[in-house]
Structure 1
Amino acid sequence: MSVKPPKQIAHIGIAVKNLNQSVEFYTHCLGLELLGIERVESEKVRIAFLEIGETRLELLEATSLDSSIHSFIERRGEGIHHIAFQVDNIGERLAYLKAYGIQLINEIPKDGAHGNLVAFLHPKSANGVLVEFCQPQ
């Protein structure tokens, strides 16, 4: 069994301490367009979406001390948190990867930002990179 490659890089997630200051840098200093800010309660984050070509940057700010973003920043500091790939059939892809022995963080896709279904692979199975798959609904 094989799967099609991802359609594109959906976004790159960047963990930040202060969303407002970070948005200021990316919009005013780099000239990127702010598409919007969304709160994702299930992940305990506020996310700013910035557009660059066909890809987006997601700036992720923890809204709680028990957020994975807060833990990430405490351990590693601000910086690139994950890379997300857009796929057509997230369930099929997760089943394929699990059968291949890849460690999944999410075996069942969950609701994410922008109404996408999302699931993450454990960094131990992806050369130290937290990989997210996104499927538009």
Structure 2
Amino acid sequence: MFMRIDHVGIACHDLEEKIAFFERTFELTVVAREVNQEQGVKEAMLHIADGQGGGSYIQLLEPLDPDTPVGKFLAKRGEGVHHVAFGVPDVAQALETIGGRGVRLLDEKPRHGSMGSSIAFLHPKDVAGMLTELVQAPER
């Protein structure tokens, strides 16, 4: 079902500061930036490598407001890994399969994600405490 680790989402207080750190320290390159009002974040995707089924990235997330999910995460846990995202060929099919196996779904259907992808989240309490995102790359 999983084709690759698509990205690791990292919550941060200052997006520009963290971008500079990852560029300087790990020589990563920002390939996309966007504001996702629905999720309440400013984000940047930094490219790591390409592989079968697509690329792998670090996704830096700065909340637009303290009351957003990422804002609440930062207040409770501080900066750090927020979620792990796995590339799948079909998000809707993956939701049906995973939900059928008893995992609670935070999203019943796919929604808009970074760089034109389709995404959905799984409940962390059913996945070893890890917020898990499913990502279907956009058609190219």
Same fold (TM over 0.5): yes
**Quick one: distance in 1 between partners of 2:108 and 2:12?**
27
Amino acid paired to 1:19: L
What is the TM-score with the length of structure 2 in the denominator? Answer: 0.91
Give the corresponding residue for 2:45: 49
Q: What secondary structure sits across from 1:22 in the alignment?
A: helix
Q: How many residues align?
A: 133
Q: Give runs of aligned pairs for residues 126-137 of structure 1, distance below 5 A.
A: 126-137=127-138
Instruction: List alignment gaps of at least 5 residues for structure 1.
Output: none
CA apart distance, 1:115: 0.9
Q: Does the CA contact (< 8 Å) of 2:32 and 2:115 recur in 1?
A: no
Give the corresponding residue for 2:91: 90
**Which of 12, 15, 25 is the aligned partner of 1:16?**
12
What is the TM-score with the length of structure 1 in the denominator? Answer: 0.93
Amino acid paired to 2:14: N
**Which of 28, 31, 35 is the aligned partner of 2:27?**
31
Question: Alpha carbon RMSD of aligned pairs, Å?
Answer: 1.0
Percent same amino acid at aligned positions? 33
**Quick one: distance in 1 between partners of 2:44 and 2:19?**
7
Give the corresponding residue for 1:78: 79
Instruction: List alignment gaps of at least 5 residues for structure 2.
Output: 51-55
Tell me whether 1:103 sits opposite 2:108 in the alignment. Answer: no
CA apart distance, 1:66: 1.9
Give the corresponding residue for 1:119: 120
**4+ runs deviating over 4 angstroms:** none
CA apart distance, 1:10: 0.8
Q: Deviations over 1:54-95 (max 9, x none)?
A: 310000000112211000001111000011111111111111
